[in-house]
A and B are shown apart, each in its own frame.
Chain A
Amino acid sequence: MGLTSARRFSALMLTSALVAFAASEARAAFECPVTGGDLVFGQEAKVNSLDMHASSTISTRNIAMHMLEALLTRDEDNNPILELAKSVDVSDDGLVYTFTLRDGIKFHNGKPMTSADVAASFDRYKKVGIESVILSNVASWETPDPMTFVITMSQAQPTFLEDLSSFSVPIVIVPAELTNADPLKLEPVGTGPFEFVEFIADSHVKLKRYEDYVPNEQFEERTGFGGYKVACLDTVTFRIVTEPGARVAGLETGELHAVEDVPQASVARLEEDPNINIVPYENFWIHIATPNFAKPPTDDPLVRKAIQTALDMDEIMEAATDGAYNTNFGFQTQNRAVYSDSGQEFFNLKDADKAKQLLEEAGYNGEELVLLTNRDYTTMYNAALVMQAQLQAIGMNVRLEVQDWPATIATRDNQPDAWNYHFTGWGTNTSLGYLAVFKFLAKPRPIYNFANPEDTVADFDEAYHDMLNLTTFEERAEAFARAQYAVMEHGIALPFGWLTKNQATRANVHNFVPFRIPRMYNVWMETS
């Protein structure tokens, strides 16, 4: 199921709600088999702040999205769904969006949510929101009554609801009286199934069940970031455990009931432990390298093609991930409605002889190829090592430039003469969907040509423009396929494969299903 056009959205949701209602006799909403317990989750990254408007970090989202909700969010298959809004109507010209809020929603401080809070939250997001570009086509918003929020666009944007439902830096709704907070200082008072207890920086964040939470009755079960959410657990403590060995140890001792990211090397051993369940999250991110068109030899399309032709992606991903990967082709996964294998003929060719031929044709004369990578993410470092070896085997002069992660970003952005390929991972954008995945390659600042941003690949630019502006889903999906083909044909990006992120729980923890955040709603734990 996907969002095909804005006007059909409300019809679709209304239909879903009616179907759900009709089926309620046959299938009741989720209920906790066991209620209670204090779950401790081992999180790998530190949390700076719980201000969801002003932080784009995964570590903030992991926790904050248990307390905070938005008008729309994404379901299990990444389709936009209603959350705090019970319906949205779109005018025929696509310029006016009228949201009707769900009834009976209260904030954690007991105050009922109204459209004034929605407006104030949008005001704040416009001012300090990290991705306030979401609202760039919005002319204004009004609150004609406490349960209605109206957005008026300056120009029609067929993909506006997709943007509004983005979970990257969502426009979460908070009480109006809190919205004057400076960036990073917003109190995490929301409408979610858990409420804030305490935050000790670099140690832990503790949440407890919000007793007056109102689940979304348009659904029967949790789905993605939304759906019918229930806090079965009394409390959840997100403990910051950055060292992988310590996370695994904590899981084994039972001090941690679930952890994010188990090293692949520990998986086999832990799988033999009857007290532990390994829960792999496939397709967590695409391992990728992006080229630099401004620096030889990657300014030459034939050289880029030679590089693509030579690479054995299985070998690269095996070394990078210790086997926790797949090399299924595509910038979206096969379960997505938009999935396409367009461009697959350029992927994972492992043809050294043909690559050498292409290099000769290009007149390659031993120019240095610089692979810009980092050790902060060992998968990126290992991928670069193997790529270096494979390219040296076809006669290329390859050097690794290893810096820390922030330095690689600065080098990529500011020193176009210092690198040819930059190693990275695309996680959030690929999971946000086809409209977001190629964002880094698009004008005005395509990462493959920061130095000459006007000198871009026309095929890709045209397809990308169509993707964002054509009115039906089918048209946009076709444009996505064209964009993907252009990416592969011109070597604008070099995908290696999908990384699997291994998560794990103790055996007494149930219904933990990996997602973009470690969802603790609808999870229960046996405590005896």
Chain B
Amino acid sequence: MGPYILRRLVSSIPVLFLVTLISFSLMQLVPGDPAILVAGLNATPEEVERVREQLGLNQPFHVQLLSWYANLLRGDLGTSFLLGRDVLEVTIERLPVSISIALYALVLTLLVGILSGVLAALRQNSWVDQAVMTFALIGVSVPNFWLGLMLIVLFAVHLGWLPSGGYVDFRDDLFGWLQATTLPAISLAMLQMGLLARITRSTMLEVLRQDYIRTARAKGLPEHRVVGLHALKNAMIPVVTVIGIIFSLLLSGSVVIETIFSIPGLGSLLGSAILRRDYPVIQGGLLLVATMLLLLNLLVDVLYAYFDPRVRYRDGQ
């Protein structure tokens, strides 16, 4: 397993290089001059040019690119055009915010998605099955920004149970964090809950039809052991493979949710950076996200081996 992990890590480097090269090139191609956005519309051409020089934007494309890579090797992701702060510092300070909400959403997704999928499979064609599948359909159909606003109207404005927005750091106040992130996490998780419920139901149904399940029941095992010990573990194999994708989607979907709920996370930072052509933040942020996703996929592959002992990663395999 060790050599396999090392090989995967090394092979990530060209992937990350490609991500940064493509994002750098694309941003240069997109119209919009960061120097004008920094200097403001009232600035004279001389002032804009001064800002352009300050930001290094008057350099040719290849010089800017090579300079960025050279700095990257020193661990320097540059300085935000608009914030005037170190990109690494700015992105890392927002990472716990986005990850904490994505993790909360993931927990909700797994709990609700898997439980409802299992329930639907065990009660196939019953009203329970119909209800779960309807819920899943709503989950995949409703836009999360609309859901977020509706949750605010219901739980914040009418019921007053939860705040309408803002963020509380979990390190300062765990209960406050829970209150502030529940509605965003639900909005974020809804789509994935629906998808996961459907996937879990399908895989459970397939597993429940297997001979070894019939054998387990024939042996007289209680149903909860048949489902929990034998069926669920096998049904989780395909589920584990999508968890990595689910978490990636939860992280990338955070841009809209962080905007709705006024959460100072990485998604909101990247979204603003793109709109305002803050190239260093876009580059640095995308690199960070790509790195996280690559590591996440590696973790998923390792977990897959745990769930399925038949899978072992060896040299050359």
User: Which positions in A face B, CB cutoff 8 Å?
Assistant: 46, 48-49, 51, 54-57, 130-133, 168-169, 182-185, 200-204, 239-243, 245-246, 249-250, 252-253, 255, 376, 403-407, 409-411, 413-414, 428-429, 439-440, 444-445
From residue B234, how far is it (CB to closest CB) to chain A in Å?
44
From residue B129, how far is it (CB to closest CB) to chain A in Å?
35
B182 within 8 A of A: no
Set of chain B residues within 8 Å of A133, measured between Cβ atoms: 44, 46-47
B contact residues, range: 35 or more
From residue B289, how far is it (CB to closest CB) to chain A in Å?
17
Q: Are B165 and A246 in contact (CB under 8 A)?
A: yes
Q: How far is the CA of A131 from the CA of B40 in the complex (A)?
A: 9
List 19 additional A-B contacts (Cβ < 8 Å) besides A49-B82, A240-B262: A130-B40, A131-B42, A201-B90, A242-B262, A243-B259, A243-B260, A243-B262, A245-B149, A246-B260, A253-B156, A376-B275, A406-B31, A406-B36, A409-B33, A409-B36, A410-B32, A413-B36, A439-B42, A440-B41
Contact residue among A168, A241, A428 (Cβ-Cβ distance under 8 Å from B165): A241
A-B contact pairs, 8 of them (CB 8 A): A130-B43, A184-B85, A202-B269, A203-B264, A246-B260, A249-B164, A406-B36, A407-B31
Task: Please give me the residue from chain A that is nearest to B268 by CB atom.
Answer: A202
Set of chain A residues within 8 Å of B163, measured between Cβ atoms: 253, 255
B37 within 8 A of A: yes
B104 within 8 A of A: no
Closest 9 CB pairs of A and B: A184-B84, A56-B40, A406-B32, A202-B264, A410-B31, A203-B264, A407-B31, A249-B164, A48-B82
Contact with A along B133-153 (1 / 0, CB 8 A): 000000000000000010011
Contact with A along B244-286 (1 / 0, CB 8 A): 0000000000000001111111001100100111000000000
Q: How far is the CA of A445 from the CA of B46 in the complex (A)?
A: 11
B96 within 8 A of A: no
Q: How far is the CA of A243 from the CA of B263 in the complex (A)?
A: 11
Set of chain B residues within 8 Å of A440, measured between Cβ atoms: 41
Q: Are A130 and B47 in contact (CB under 8 A)?
A: yes
Task: Please give me the residue from chain B that is nearest to A185 by CB atom.
Answer: B84
- Total A-B Cβ pairs within 8 A: 138
From residue A479, how far is it (CB to closest CB) to chain B in Å?
21
Q: How far is the CA of A243 from the CA of B269 in the complex (A)?
A: 15
Contact residue among B31, B83, B259, B263 (Cβ-Cβ distance under 8 Å from A48): B83
B242 within 8 A of A: no
Contact residue among A240, A242, A246, A429 (Cβ-Cβ distance under 8 Å from B42): A429
Set of chain A residues within 8 Å of B94, measured between Cβ atoms: 202
Set of chain B residues within 8 Å of A444, measured between Cβ atoms: 45
Q: Are B32 and A407 in contact (CB under 8 A)?
A: yes
B15 within 8 A of A: no
Q: Are B39 and A56 in contact (CB under 8 A)?
A: yes
Q: How far is the CA of A104 from the CA of B29 in the complex (A)?
A: 54
B30 within 8 A of A: yes
Task: Please give me the residue from chain A that is nearest to B278 by CB atom.
Answer: A48
Set of chain A residues within 8 Å of B28, measured between Cβ atoms: none
From residue B284, how far is it (CB to closest CB) to chain A in Å?
15
Q: Are B83 and A49 in contact (CB under 8 A)?
A: yes
Q: Are B152 and A245 in contact (CB under 8 A)?
A: yes
Task: Please give me the residue from chain B that is nearest to A447 by CB atom.
Answer: B41
From residue B84, how far is it (CB to closest CB) to chain A in Å?
3
Given contacts A56-B40, A240-B262, contact A410 B160 (CB under 8 A): no
Task: Please give me the residue from chain A that is nearest to B162 by CB atom.
Answer: A253
Q: Are A168 and B277 in contact (CB under 8 A)?
A: no
**Most A CB within 10 A of own CB, among B30, B262, B265, B268:** B262
Q: How far is the CA of A169 from the CA of B83 in the complex (A)?
A: 17
Contact with A along B91-115 (1 / 0, CB 8 A): 0001000000000000000000000
Q: How far is the CA of A145 from the CA of B84 in the complex (A)?
A: 35
Q: Are B165 and A250 in contact (CB under 8 A)?
A: yes
Set of chain A residues within 8 Å of B272, measured between Cβ atoms: 46, 202
B25 within 8 A of A: no
Set of chain B residues within 8 Å of A168, measured between Cβ atoms: 42
B59 within 8 A of A: no
Q: Are B275 and A203 in contact (CB under 8 A)?
A: no
Set of chain A residues within 8 Å of B265, measured between Cβ atoms: 202
B166 within 8 A of A: yes
